[in-house]
Structure 1
């Protein structure tokens, strides 16, 4: 492993984004010196001019709420891979959505999506999530051991929850799980990426057309009927919003479940602490969301006008990466941040769901799924244990959303 040396004097050459992790639950070590010595660091991009990497909690939080930093950009992952698709192709395959728009467009879209997350719909979620969790844990109990917790529980539970919420057939899970993996991978060629984007759009447009013909009582069905100031959403807009909610609704939560379980089962087995003190479950959920942030490369913004961040002058058009994992491990805000503490008093101040106008709409759903699943697993499998060394667990280090690829476990039936 090589570690970039801390800059001295005027040595501020652009650095590549730190991505190498010493183990599956540790951040790249370069963030320690970056937060201290170069909190707004010149960042080398795979294409185009360099930008900036922001790593301190206060600066990242302020940047997430700063209207001078635009979310509108031609490619979601340009700080971790070169642009493979032109802005014109991107606009055709996926128009602007909640993640890649600014007010007033973002305000219009968010208001319409918010209107589908009604109190009635949310009130029905907890018992339904519990039933889904019970079903998959019963299957886990009958599975030959060691069992892969990711394949048997962590991925199918949020996949079924978001399928039912959005109104997407769960029988299509193999298709949309595969397309999600392809869209989030950093290793796709241009042709492969174009094909995956086109396939996802075609699939979702088919669902939208079906719901126009036969209205349904679900989120996508509601968006088909929704209007803002008398103007309905286009089919392309609904498909783009559906893609964002589908991917965020199952991929991020599935990886959070896997990372949470790994963090709890490895020494010193916080699993046992939580089993003996179940009242800590809510704090544990917040702490794991902070400690194991799944959006591993941060969020990209573009400066709409000149501004200053931590004394560094940012010019109009500069690209700025707000690094959520680094901010969530800032020792000036979180004491001893590289250790998971279920009783951390300010764990809920993490930035894993963002902050400001782009704060994640699904934050409460993700918390609810994590809480129900952890509580039920602790009760049903009190002696759940890893069957591999924690540091040997394979991870998705070449995907936008971080997590473990598999999690082999055993237990007493």
Structure 2
């Protein structure tokens, strides 16, 4: 490595979740791990590749009623196109931004009144409000719904525990899923059966989905749009509240700078660790490597995002200039890539930016207690709980 290529950050390691992931991540057997960025991108973008996990569960189901995340090929492309309008920059600007601003204002006002707030609770309220507006879960109290979902996903994490604890966790997960279905999903469905609206549930009702099929779609959106976004917001807040220089860059920079900082946090501390793919046909990667039909791959997002051939020097350090310098499109591999790239990626980035910009401008804002880190086995990703922020209370 030349002097010009040497790390300017003295090989600083800004990662917060790496040790936990190393200890707790449990990839499924039978999938060859990928840690090279370019090869991972080839695999994710290839039409020869299909979803590698859980898709077999739906192979005997009516294709038109399978959740979009488990579809592939032309049907997946068609369904994504039908739902794409809910995630476009125009939709964010014209519809979702209003919800982001309103909920953020309410959350920050509460923080100012009390002088104290819990980050995971505050951020989940925002993530739930935004996702609920997109999906159509708007016929129940948002605070109550976010609390129900928080308890449901806590229960989901208990399912894989050994012995009686796992059985009790599975039972609790079922009960809490049914409670969410009865209290939040069914009222939304019934309302939209009488009053068509421009949201995902209205679309599913028009397409003739059953209540149970709509529940599966809602759970998919709840996982991606609410739970993982909450973790991302808390992780970014943790970095920014502890790093004064980074915080100053975030507050003094424009939106492009803020998004670049969020990208870097997500690059080194991605919420989910793995994505799985299976080759249905032969393919040839850009480096000439030949992949045969039937090969299965584990796309190791956490390590792919640290590949120095893509990132350049100092892969463990947050460097807002990195993406521009490396001529890399935003988000790296953190929202996956190709046909199954997370459709709500830009929604998550925008709501995180809005929330953090408001939080860091609250007078006297400070991190009073760091979050406790845990591991969500269902998504092989971290969870952050109990972080407390304090501020100068309003008079």
TM-score (norm 2): 0.76
Q: Does 1:387 align with 2:378?
A: no
Q: Is the deviation greater in 280-289 or in 253-262?
A: 280-289
Aligned to 1:362: 344
**Is 2:108–2:359's contact at 8 Å kept on the other side of the alignment?**
yes
CA-CA distance at 1:404 after TM superposition? 1.7
Structure-2 change in CA distance of 1:379 and 1:166 (3 Å): same
Indicate whether 1:214 and 2:194 are aligned.
Answer: yes
Alignment partner, residue 298 of structure 2? 321
Normalized per residue, the structure richer in helix is 2
Could you tell me which runs of 5 or more consecutive residues in structure 1 were left unpaired when the two chains were aligned. Answer: 1-21, 32-42, 76-85
- Give the distance between the partners of 1:60 and 1:255, measured in 2 at CA: 24
Tell me how far apart the structure 2 counterparts of residues 205 and 252 of structure 1 sit (CA, whole Å): 20
Q: 1:130 aligned to 101, 107, 130, which one? A: 101
Deviation of 1:337 (Å): 1.8
Query: Residue 271 of structure 1 aligns with which residue?
Result: 247
Partner residue in 1 for 2:131? 162
CA contact (8 A) 2:158 2:170 kept: no
Does the 8 A contact of 2:159 with 2:167 survive in 1? no
Asked if structure 2 preserves the Cα contact closer than 8 Å seen for 1:396 and 1:404, the reply is: yes
Helix, strand or coil: the match of 1:155? helix
The 1:27–1:307 alpha-carbon spacing in structure 2 relative to 1, beyond 3 Å, is farther
1: CA distance, partners of 2:158 / 2:338 = 27
Residues 1:114 and 2:84 are matched in the alignment: yes
Task: Report the CA distance shift for 1:318/1:347 in structure 2 as closer, same or farther (over 3 A).
Answer: closer
Q: Once the two structures are superposed, what CA deviation does each residue of 1:141-197 show, in whole Å capped at 9, x if it has no partner? A: 22354x42222x211111122223322132433222322333356635357437635
Are the structure 2 counterparts of residues 103 and 193 from structure 1 closer, same or farther at C-alpha, using a change threshold of 3 Å? Answer: farther
Q: How many residues matched?
A: 356
Residue 179 of structure 1 pairs with residue 156 of structure 2: no
Deviation track 1:8-40 (CA, whole Å, cap 9, x = no partner) reads: xxxxxxxxxxxxxx9971425999xxxxxxxxx
Moved over 6 A (4+): 88-92, 308-313
Aligned to 1:290: 267
Structure 2 alignment gaps of length 5 or more: 1-12
State the secondary structure of the residue aligned to 2:18. Answer: coil
**Does the aligned pair in 2 maintain the 1:55–1:322 contact within 8 Å?**
yes
Kept after mapping to 1: 8 A contact 2:87/2:347: no
Secondary structure in 2 matching 1:329? coil
- Tell me, what secondary structure is at the counterpart of 1:333? helix
Distance change >3 Å, CA 394–CA 91, structure 1 → 2: farther
Match of 2:231 among 255, 272, 284: 255
Instruction: Find the partner of 1:25 among 3, 6, 16.
Output: 16
Question: Over aligned residues, Cα RMSD in angstroms?
Answer: 3.6
SS in 2 for 1:341: coil
Q: Mapping of 1:33-48 within 5 angstroms?
A: none
Structure 2 counterpart of 1:410: 390
TM-superposed CA distance for 1:358, in Å, is 0.8
Bigger mean CA deviation after superposition, 59-68 or 199-208: 199-208
Specify the alignment match of 1:100 in structure 2: 70
Q: Secondary structure at the match of 2:71?
A: coil
Partners of 2:350 and 2:61 lie apart in 1 by 34
Hey, what's the Cα distance between the residues in 2 that align with 1:363 and 1:291? 17
- Please name the residue that 1:19 is paired with: none
Paired residue secondary structure (1:396): strand
CA 1:70–1:28 in structure 2 vs 1: closer, same or farther (change >3 Å)?
farther
How far did 1:265 drift?
Answer: 2.0
How far did 1:104 drift? 2.7
Name the structure, 1 or 2, with higher relative contact order (CA <8 Å, separation 6+): 2
The secondary structure found in structure 1 opposite 2:68 is coil
If the length of structure 1 is used for normalisation, what is the TM-score?
A: 0.73
What is the DSSP-based 3-state SS (H/G/I as helix, E as strand, rest coil) of the residue aligned with 2:276? Answer: strand
